[in-house]
Amino acid sequence: MIRRTMVLLMAMCIWVAAVDLATQSAVTEGIRAAEIYERVSEFSSPAYEGRLTGTTGYARAARRAADLFREWGLAPLSEDYLQEFSVRYTEVRQASLTLRIQTESREEVIEGEYFSNFYPLNFSGHGTVAAPVVFAGYGLSAPEYGHDDYAGLAVTDKIVMIIKGAPPPREGEDWTVYDDHRFRTANARRHGAAGLLYIYRPVANPNGDHLENFPMVQISTEMADAVLKASGTSVEALKPLLNLRRNVSFVTKATADLAVQAERRLGTGYNVVAFLPGSDPERQKEAVVIGAHLDHTGAWPVLTPGADDNASGVAVVLAIARAMAQAGVRSPRSIVFVLFGGEEMGLLGSRRFAERPPAPIQKIHFVLNTDMVGAGPDIFVLGLKKDPRFELLANRVKDSLGLTCRLEGNERIGSSGADHGPFIEKGIPAVSVFSSGGDHHGYHTDQDTIYWITPRIMEDIGRLVAGCALELARGE
């Protein structure tokens, strides 16, 4: 009798495992590089205008993703697949910068070229100004630390040029509020400046505070060095002095013609949300979230396609959703697919979702976010080492899938940088998966195109994330 029961039990175990394995391999086999690649190509196409949250291009991309979820039979969480929020954004129609540098013998003129040596900040105010350029170090005023880059410097109606960065903190200091471009831009304005040259990578960046009638652009280190050279210095030479908290601010030998044509707008942002309801009446209220940000940096003034950032993650999430829907996945916990809006503006969509998940979700069990997964042979997971159980699980899934890529990660929790952040802040386990070891080409420029995308790694990441999600959704 005992033997017969045991045989029966063993048979049942094998049967249960076999069903799971069949579903799992149907999901894995269903996630294919070719489909993902096609989808990256679609979402990074000019039809979606660089997907800046709030714009019609973004809304078009969100509705397209919702249509795909519907077509594959995934359920909306509320009446609709779209979770709305309002958002302010800036259309920068055009920007120009001409530098005139007075050297001993002559006047050197440098014209700004988009992405090569300058680019407007995508939250810039509208304005035209011709004025002398004043160098103001890191652009920081931190009275409690006895530091002010503006001390003794008259910048009223001048164009201020500053470097990104802050001096290394001393015991008990916290510079995070100061080492932030929101502080830096406002501080320049507060001191009466008429415009700003921010020495940083000249790429698209919509994440900042709009300052009315205050034109702001990013310039390359080379362009800044051309200005500084006339005074016998350079960014490289000034940084160590700034780190020693020396005041090295001075009036340069350059003037600049700076113009930004910008218009502030109010629009609607969306998270696109679909799900596979869980099979367990209790556990189905718990969600394993598979996410990616749908938005990018728009088309003002130049189209930034965002193929790697983050049409790649979107395409991976969509491929997982389709494969799971078609394989008929019914796990005890619900699996929720979310395409976040507003990531590039400061994690707006994921913050909103973490704060107010749509109704049927009572608890978010785990978040697997994918971001910039289109370049390189390997995988890097932010937060992988925070929970040893998850690290173990991810490696086990990777091995069982026979993936040969490297899987690495760190312990980082922090809130900035990627959409797992707002969940971590709420105490919800979350990671962000990136591709690594390759060239994330053309980051936030017109060069982040389908041309540079590696299809294979997206398939690997899709399979790994799907495999982990199925394990996490088991309800154990």
In the bound complex, what is the minimum distance in angstroms from residue 370's beta carbon to Zn ion?
13
Q: Which residue, 296 or 322, is less far from Zn ion as judged by CB?
A: 296
CB of 438 to Zn ion, least distance (A): 16
In the bound complex, what is the minimum distance in angstroms from residue 77's beta carbon to Zn ion? Answer: 26
Whether the Cβ atoms of residue 53 and residue 269 lie closer than 8 Å to each other: yes
Q: Looking at beta carbons only, is 168 or 417 nearer to Zn ion?
A: 417
- CA-to-CA separations, 62 to 47, 178, 311, in angstroms, rounded: 12, 35, 12
Least distance in angstroms from the C-beta of 306 to Zn ion = 7
Of 114 and 443, nearer to Zn ion (C-beta) is: 443
User: Distance between CA atoms of 399 and 75, rounded to whole angstroms?
Assistant: 32
**Residue 322 to residues 30, 73, 224, 363: CA-CA distances in angstroms?**
8, 9, 49, 24
Residue 274 vs 317, nearer CB to Zn ion: 317
User: Mask of contacts with Zn ion, 142-181, x by CB under 5 A?
Assistant: ----------------------------------------
On whether the CB atoms of residues 382 and 432 are closer than 8 A, the answer is yes
Segment contacting Zn ion by CB under 5 A, of 8-16, 49-57, 63-71, 305-313: 305-313
- The residue number with the shortest CB distance to Zn ion is 309
Q: Which among 465, 425, 412 has a CA at the least distance from the CA of 291? A: 465
Instruction: Give whichever of 85 and 434 is closer to Zn ion, judged by the CB atom.
Output: 434
Q: Does 295 bind Zn ion (CB under 5 A)?
A: no
Dihedral through CA 43, CA 49, CA 50, CA 51, nearest 10? -70
- Which C-beta is closer to Zn ion: that of 87 or that of 110? 87
Contact indicator for 221, 235 with CB cutoff of 8 Å? yes
Query: Binding to Zn ion (CB under 5 A): which residues in 250-289?
Result: none
Residue 344 CB, nearest distance to Zn ion (Å)? 5
- In terms of CB distance, is 81 or 380 closer to Zn ion? 380
Stretch that binds Zn ion, among 150-158, 307-315, 357-365, 393-401 (CB under 5 A): 307-315
Residue 470: phi, psi to the nearest 5?
-65, -40
Q: Are 297 and 350 in contact (CB under 8 A)?
A: no
Closest approach, Cβ 56 to Zn ion, in A, equals: 20
Separation CA 380–CA 92 (nearest Å):
34
Query: CA-CA distance, 99 to 242, in Å (whole number)?
Result: 24
At closest approach, how far in Å is the CB of 220 from Zn ion? 19
**Minimum distance, C-beta of residue 305 to Zn ion, in the bound complex (Å):** 12
Token pair of 363 as six digits: 């608890």
- The distance of closest approach from Cβ of residue 58 to Zn ion in the complex, given in angstroms and rounded to an integer, is 14
Q: Which stretch binds Zn ion (CB under 5 A): 198-206, 302-310, 333-341, 427-435?
A: 302-310
Partner residues linked to 100 by β-bridges: 109, 255
**257 vs 309 by CB, closer to Zn ion:** 309
CA distance 393 to 225: 49
Span of 53-61, 125-133, 259-267, 303-311 interacting with Zn ion by CB under 5 A: 303-311
Please choose, out of 31-39, 242-250, 301-309, 313-321, the segment that lies near Zn ion by the rule CB under 5 A: 301-309
Question: Among 166-174, 271-279, 306-314, 410-418, which window interacts with Zn ion (CB under 5 A)?
Answer: 306-314
Selection from 52, 85, 344, 90 nearest residue 210 by Cα: 90
Q: In terms of CB distance, is 149 or 309 closer to Zn ion?
A: 309
CA distance 345 to 340: 11
The DSSP H or E segment spanning 237 is helix 235-243
**Using CB under 5 A, which of 42, 49, 149, 309 touches Zn ion?**
309
User: To the nearest whole angstrom, how small is the minimum distance from the Cβ of residue 332 to Zn ion?
Assistant: 35
Number of residues binding to Zn ion, judged by CB under 5 A: 1
Q: Which two tokens stand for residue 131?
A: 């004025």
Stretch that binds Zn ion, among 258-266, 309-317, 447-455, 467-475 (CB under 5 A): 309-317
What lies within 8 Å, CB to CB, of 319 at 6+ separation is 30, 31, 32, 35, 36, 39, 462
The footprint of Zn ion (CB under 5 A) covers 309
